[in-house]
Chains A and B, each alone.
Chain A
């Protein structure tokens, strides 16, 4: 019986030493990790809202949740010139998260896909620059997925060959996110 206590005691001692060591390392790395996370968000915002000044994109929160970001013009940082927000939608084999930036008329300035785990080589092509560039200067109503050739002639988003579902999923999530966020912003303005 006594032996069990002795063994448990040794194990607890080792665990305590380990935990203290980890607590030190955690304190050392904590700030740097936060910095990295903020850097990643900032990078995606810069791609989504190139029209705003990099350091003048601020989050609008409700409690702990970020609803959207407000972007201000580089020449006059009191002038609101765009919004950015996350679009999340179910893709073929994963949830696709995209940072979307629009100007004050609702026209897309840029998108940046933040995370996805679609089929490598097919669905993952949504991260390619030429696919994402298609979204620029479009409004929510334009966001329909059509075959590539049709898109070149008549507009819309050209789908990726072999990845129709991923293409449709990301497009739909962006369209919904634009509509929802703009409605939210309009409602806030009305309440002022």
Chain B
């Protein structure tokens, strides 16, 4: 339980996916112009990230990694190392999940679907999703277990949404501010992101254990 809390606070504040891990920047810049689409995108990303984190964990643990839980090992008693197929397998899973979520949103909320527009299929190329899937196994002592990977995916999504919503709120106000012409649009967005990243840097010393 404690470990789950550590993972959560880590993913949302200490190693925020946007402000300190640099994951999910492209949609971050694209969708953070209005608060509504930011929230909609955030929800979609949280959903996809949680699902993707879980399914990729299952595939990697039971099919790809050369450990005792590998199904090929159990069936054929031979340690086969398929970890080189990880990138392909993970991205295919993510692409399929995004396709699925796209169909669901189209049925459930056509308004949200049209407001997210091109950014919905673009969730596939959101590095945060592939990132969290890989990060589940990237820890120094041991990879996350099943429950931990679900929590990791979910809270990483929350961290991303937090960054997105904060940014959208500021950018909406920024529209009316006298920004010098060269900096208008994307440059000022990055500078704002930089300032917010400084704030989040303050979390990096946060230690809960």
Contact = CB atoms under 8 A, between A and B. Distances in A.
Interface of A: 15, 18-19, 22-23, 25-26, 88, 90, 92-93, 95, 97, 115, 119, 165
| Contact size range, B | 10 to 19
Interface string B1-23: 00000000000001000000000
B84 A18 contact: no
B140 A115 contact: yes
Contacts of A18: 88
B140 A165 contact: no
B140 A88 contact: yes
Given A19-B85, A88-B141, A93 B92 contact: no
24 contacts: A15-B88, A15-B92, A18-B88, A19-B85, A19-B88, A22-B84, A22-B85, A22-B88, A25-B84, A26-B84, A88-B140, A88-B141, A90-B207, A90-B209, A92-B205, A93-B14, A93-B204, A93-B205, A95-B140, A95-B141, A97-B140, A115-B140, A119-B204, A165-B205
A43 B88 CA distance: 33
A26 B88 CA distance: 14
A25 B14 CA distance: 38
B85 to A, nearest CB: 6
Nearest to A18: B88
A23 B85 CA distance: 8
Contacts of A26: 84
A15 B141 CA distance: 33
A52 B101 CA distance: 59
A165 B206 CA distance: 12
Given A15-B88, A23-B84, 16 more contacts: A15-B92, A19-B85, A19-B88, A22-B84, A22-B85, A22-B88, A25-B84, A26-B84, A88-B140, A88-B141, A92-B205, A93-B14, A93-B204, A93-B205, A97-B140, A119-B204
A38 B192 CA distance: 45
